[in-house]
């Protein structure tokens, strides 16, 4: 990561990604955008037991939506579900246990969900992981890549037929502003070469999520895809970067503030009036690149990422 990119990103962050920046941006929000009922619509949210995922589930449940919480830890998930039901009075909240780093199980879960449920209106890819050291899953894939990229790809692709059968289908992926310092690189997807820096690996995966969203939007034109940056939020992911969390803790957004754009993209009519495949921050479309940062990738590189993901996905699909 260049010194320029690092400096430009931090300057952008302190002016746009903080709690105060959210409060400033919120002055232009249209309140009626979220004054909607989504009763009868179903929403799948990964990582829904804490942070942005739980705040999103809470906000959508308040508006009558059916919530499918996809979580790794059963106890934490059930506790979060109880909180959501108690606060919203909405009992249409269901827990599904899945570890997105277990690649084959992601596909098996999606296939099982399609058999059991007749519709899914919105998929929210929120779960993410920062690893402190390189680790492999049971299939021999680097765990962070398996969770943040391949798991998201397999879950999304597997659920597309169900989404396409549903009314006003949407897919929202929670990325990170950290991706702004990363250019797409497909030559080291498993982080096998060089020193393993979990924060930079995570940022690269968040860039890959942006590219994935752009590419899926081109091939599945009847689904509205979007990807967003929640700002700097006080969540378990932020806690995984202790130095950053300590230095910025008084400026971090609440999970509810971080979830605001996710909720807006999920339920508002205004969101789907924008083109599919775009990147959002505080309810508006923004650039996926810092000025003069040289992070643009070639169409060839972007296609290579999608081809690798498709090939990997096929190896885990049993017939």
> Which sequence positions are flagged as catalytic?
202
78 C-beta neighbours (distance < 10 Å), count: 15
Extract the tokens encoding 240: 């995984």
In 219-266, beta strands by DSSP E: 224-229
Furthest-apart CA atoms within the chain: distance in Å:
52
Is the CB of residue 146 less than 8 Å from the CB of residue 106? no
- Residue 207 three-state SS: helix
| Distance from C-alpha of 224 to C-alpha of 227, rounded to nearest angstrom | 10
Contact residues for 211 (Cβ-Cβ < 8 A; gap 6+)? 184, 297, 302, 305, 306
Output the CA–CA distances (angstroms, integers) from residue 270 to 145, 147, 174, 243, in the order listed: 33, 31, 19, 38
Is the CB of residue 28 less than 8 Å from the CB of residue 313? no
Contact residues for 219 (Cβ-Cβ < 8 A; gap 6+)? none
220 C-beta neighbours (distance < 10 Å), count: 19
Instruction: Please state the separation of Cα 74 from the chain's center in Å.
Output: 21
| Distance from C-alpha of 234 to C-alpha of 253, rounded to nearest angstrom | 6
Extract the tokens encoding 96: 């599904």
């Amino acid at each position: 990561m260049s010194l320029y990119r690092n400096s430009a990103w931090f300057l952008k962050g302190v002016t746009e990604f903080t709690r105060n920046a959210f409060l400033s941006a919120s002055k232009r929000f249209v309140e009626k955008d979220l004054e909607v009922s989504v009763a009868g619509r179903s929403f799948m949210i990964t990582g829904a037991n804490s942070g942005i995922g739980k705040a999103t589930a809470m906000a959508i449940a308040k508006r009558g939506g059916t919530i499918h919480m996809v979580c790794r830890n059963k106890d934490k998930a059930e506790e979060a579900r109880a909180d959501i039901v108690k606060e919203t009075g909405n009992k249409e909240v269901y827990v599904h246990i899945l570890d997105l780093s277990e690649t084959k199980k992601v596909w098996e879960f999606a296939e099982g969900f399609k058999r059991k449920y007749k519709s899914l209106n919105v998929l929210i890819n929120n779960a993410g992981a920062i690893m402190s050291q390189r680790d492999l899953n049971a299939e021999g894939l680097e765990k962070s890549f398996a969770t943040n990229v391949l798991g998201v790809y397999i879950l999304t692709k597997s659920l597309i037929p169900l989404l396409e059968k549903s009314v006003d289908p949407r897919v929202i992926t929670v990325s990170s502003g950290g991706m702004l310092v990363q250019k797409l690189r497909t030559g080291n997807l498993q982080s096998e070469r060089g020193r393993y820096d979990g924060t930079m690996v995570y940022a690269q995966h968040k860039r890959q999520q942006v590219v994935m969203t752009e590419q899926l939007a081109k091939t599945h034109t009847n689904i509205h895809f979007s990807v967003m940056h929640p700002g700097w939020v006080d969540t378990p992911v932020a806690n995984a970067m202790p130095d950053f969390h300590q230095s910025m803790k008084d400026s971090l957004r609440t999970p509810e503030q971080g979830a605001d754009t996710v909720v807006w993209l999920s339920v508002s009519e205004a969101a789907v009036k924008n083109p599919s495949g775009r990147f959002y921050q505080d309810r508006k479309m923004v650039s996926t690149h810092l000025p003069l940062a040289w992070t643009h990738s070639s169409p060839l590189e972007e296609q290579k990422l999608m081809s690798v993901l498709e090939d990997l996905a096929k190896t885990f699909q049993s017939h």
